[in-house]
Amino acid sequence: MKALWWLLGSAGLAVLAADLLGRQFGLGALGGGDAGGNRVALTFDDGPSPQLPALLEVLARHEVRATFFLTGELAERSPEALRAMKSAGHQLESHGHVHRHALMFTPWGEARRLGWHPEPGRKERLYRPPWGGHSPFTRLLARRAGVKVALWNAESRDWLAQDGAALARELLPTLGGGAVILLHDGPDAERSARTQALLEVLLPALRERGLDAVTLHELEPRPIGWAAGWGRVRGMWVGNSETR
Footprint of Zn ion (CB under 5 A): 45-46, 130
Q: Pick the closer one to Zn ion by CB: 149 or 211.
A: 149
CB of 173 to Zn ion, least distance (A): 25
| Cβ 56 vs Cβ 85: under 8 Å | yes
Q: Pick the closer one to Zn ion by CB: 32 or 47.
A: 47
CB of 186 to Zn ion, least distance (A): 10
CB atoms within 10 A of CB 160: 14
CB of 8 to Zn ion, least distance (A): 30
* CA–CA–CA angle 68, 125, 70 (5° rounding): 30
Q: Pick the closer one to Zn ion by CB: 90 or 184.
A: 184
Q: Pick the closer one to Zn ion by CB: 19 or 45.
A: 45
CB of 129 to Zn ion, least distance (A): 9
CB of 46 to Zn ion, least distance (A): 4
Cα separation of 39 and 236, whole Å? 24
Nearest one of 61, 92, 91, 57 to 207, comparing CA atoms? 61
CB of 204 to Zn ion, least distance (A): 27
Q: Pick the closer one to Zn ion by CB: 46 or 158.
A: 46
Q: Which helix (H) or strand (E) holds 41?
A: strand 39-47
Contacts 24+ apart (CB under 8 A), 118-123: 118/70, 118/72, 118/75, 118/82, 118/92, 118/93, 118/94, 119/92
| Cβ 61 vs Cβ 76: under 8 Å | no
Q: Which residues pair with 184 in a beta bridge?
A: 45
Q: Pick the closer one to Zn ion by CB: 52 or 211.
A: 52
Query: What are the backbone dihedrals phi and psi of residue 192, each rounded to the nearest 5 degrees, phi first?
Result: -65, -40
CB of 234 to Zn ion, least distance (A): 23
Q: Pick the closer one to Zn ion by CB: 25 or 44.
A: 44
Q: How far is CA 85 from the centre of its chain?
A: 17
